[in-house]
Amino acid sequence: MKTLNDFNFNTKKALIRVDFNVPLDENFKVTDATRIEAAKPTIDKILADGGSVILMSHLGRPKGKEEKYSLKHILTKTSEVLGKEVKFAEDCIGSVAEEAAKNLQPGEILLLENLRFYAEEEAGDVDFAKKLASLGDVYVNDAFGTAHRAHASTTIIAQFFPNDKCFGTLLAKEIESLNKVLKDSEKPVTAVLGGSKVSSKITVIENILDKVDHLIIGGGMTFTFIKAQGGKIGNSICEDDKMDLALEILEKAKAKNVQIHIPVDVIAANAFSNDAETQIVNVNEIHDGWQGLDAGPESLERFKKVILESKTILWNGPLGVFEMENFAKGTIALGEFIAEATEKGAFSLVGGGDSVAAVKQFGLEDKMSYVSTGGGAMLEMLEGKSLPGIDAILR
């Protein structure tokens, strides 16, 4: 696996695919600069070598050239985070981009305009990739969030740099962390899968059953498993068409000696609202008109015991509707158990939009071994799929 450390960037122009698809408010101000901060170590190393940096990214889902999706809106914040003035090219290919790249001096940073202003980017167009490639000497992919897409700037472009391509610090760390869970894990290994749908996690569950000792199932998925086993779930969310599959998963787990842990009690509410009436009930006995919205205290005690005995922990998906304060307790407690296990030497990897949002919201981010930046890409790796953006560098 070629990384930045395999190159000296002195006098070289590094063309870096970053993921600066950051949220903006109505005044086009960046509201969360995490993704820009995540790319800083890669950029710093190249500049320290005496190289220059050309950044390329997408922002949003523009239809053609749309002013509101221009990357010029993030220029000030990017300069601030990198501690250096960032130049801007009002196009990503053609004479404007070529001129700006040609004039770039060692130690300087250039940000290209939104790649998705061109339909060729998402189409994986070879000619478009070639035009991008002409701007730099070395290609660096540091965008894990888009590594599962075979786009021009994430995958196709790599062929124009047969010997001069590598992973950036962030992407290398993502691969390393996932491999630590999937390939080189210290046992016992526990995976916590939450969220609302079994259907979105089926392939993940099937792929990781060979790699884990314990599987904790939480969130809305719980009720598909409970109903499949004959439990009463009231008005709780359930995928009736996935009940056979849930039973199949339980059978497979048993055959592979994987212990599955499903909540035994829940916080049930008489409406999907933070102000609803609540009661703690057995997960099998939720009354009609009531729905389970968080894991109950007995479940949390059981989960705690499993987590604290684990040496490797993967967490993807919340245990309840954590966006509502009254149903966030389970997710917060789980995060705290994982933080405690991590402090005692376990390796913990958190990934997937909701889990990442939860650890940030509840101040637990720094207490985890690694928090992944790419939801979709991470899920695909957990499903055992190969990611085109990663394969293109390994070729």
The answer to the question of residue 65 being in a domain is yes
pLDDT of 203 > 80? The answer is yes
pLDDT single digits (tens) 16-59: 999 999 999 999 999 989 899 999 999 999 999 999 999 999 99
Residues 100 and 237 in one domain: no
44 and 141 part of one domain: yes
141 and 154 in contact (C-beta within 8 Å)? Answer: yes
pLDDT tens digits for range 314-344 = 999 999 999 999 999 999 999 999 999 999 9
Q: Do strands 291-295 and 265-269 pair parallel, antiparallel, or not at all (unpaired)?
A: antiparallel
Put the strands of the sheet holding 13-17 in their side by side order: 86-89, 109-112, 52-56, 13-17, 138-141, 165-167
Taking only the tens place, the pLDDT of each residue in 205-230 is 989 999 999 999 999 999 999 999 99
Do 42 and 117 belong together in one domain? yes
Same-domain pairing of 92 and 44: yes
Q: State the average pLDDT over residues 275-281.
A: 97
Asked if residue 393 belongs to a domain, the reply is no
Residue 330 lies in a domain: yes
Residue 180 known to bind ligand: no
Give kind and range of the element (H or E) at residue 208: helix 202-208
Is the same domain home to 139 and 252?
no
Out of 128, 145, 167, pick the residue that ends a domain: 167
- Residue 351: the pLDDT is 87
Residue 362 resides in a domain: yes
- Confidence (pLDDT) at 353: 65
Domain count, the chain: 2
Same domain, 154 and 180: no
Annotated catalytic residues are: 35, 197, 353, 376
pLDDT at residue 315 in the model: 94
* Whether 147 contacts 389, CB under 8 Å: yes
319 annotated to bind ligand = no
Q: Are 260 and 369 part of one and the same domain?
A: yes
Question: Containing H/E element for 202?
Answer: helix 202-208
Angle among Cα 354, 188, 207 to the nearest 5 degrees reads 55
Whether residue 394 lies inside any domain: the answer is no
Give the predicted TM-score (pTM) of the model.
0.88
Q: Is 352 annotated as a binding residue?
A: yes
In the chain, what's the furthest Cα-to-Cα distance? 70
Is 73 known to sit in a ligand binding site? no
The C-alpha atoms of residue 319 and residue 300 are separated, in whole angstroms, by 10
Q: Is 26 exposed, middle or buried (0-12, 13-18, 19+ CB in 10 A)?
A: exposed
**Same domain (yes/no): 29, 116:** yes
Q: Mean of the pLDDT values across residues 87-112?
A: 98
Find the CATH number of the domain harbouring 58. 3.40.50.1260
Indicate whether 395 belongs to any domain.
Answer: no
Last residue of a domain, one of 148, 167, 186: 167
- What backbone phi and psi angles, to 5 degrees, belong to 380? -65, -35
Let me know whether 289 and 325 are in one domain: yes
Residue at 363 is within a domain: yes
> For residue range 124-157, what is the model confidence (pLDDT) as tens digits?
999 999 999 999 999 999 999 889 999 999 999 9
Alpha carbons within 13 angstroms on the beta-carbon side of residue 115 total 29
On whether residue 387 sits in a domain, the answer given is no
Residue 129's domain spans which residues? 4-167
Contacts of 330 (CB under 8 A, 6+ apart): 218, 267, 294, 295, 296, 299, 300, 318, 319, 320, 322
Residue 127 has which token pair?
């000619």
- The DSSP line for 140-189 is EE--GGGTTS--TTTTGGGGG-SSSEEE-HHHHHHHHHHHHHHTSPPSSE
Q: Give residue 231's region: left, alpha or beta (phi > 0; psi -120 to 50).
A: beta
Last residue of a domain, one of 139, 167, 195: 167
Same domain, 40 and 129: yes
Q: What is the mean pLDDT of the segment spanning 277-294? A: 97
| Domain shared by 217 and 349, yes or no | yes
Range 83-97 average pLDDT: 98
CA atoms of 36 and 80, how far apart (whole Å) = 10
162 and 205 share one domain:
no
| Residue 201 is assigned to a ligand binding site | yes
End-to-end CA distance of the chain, in Å? 10
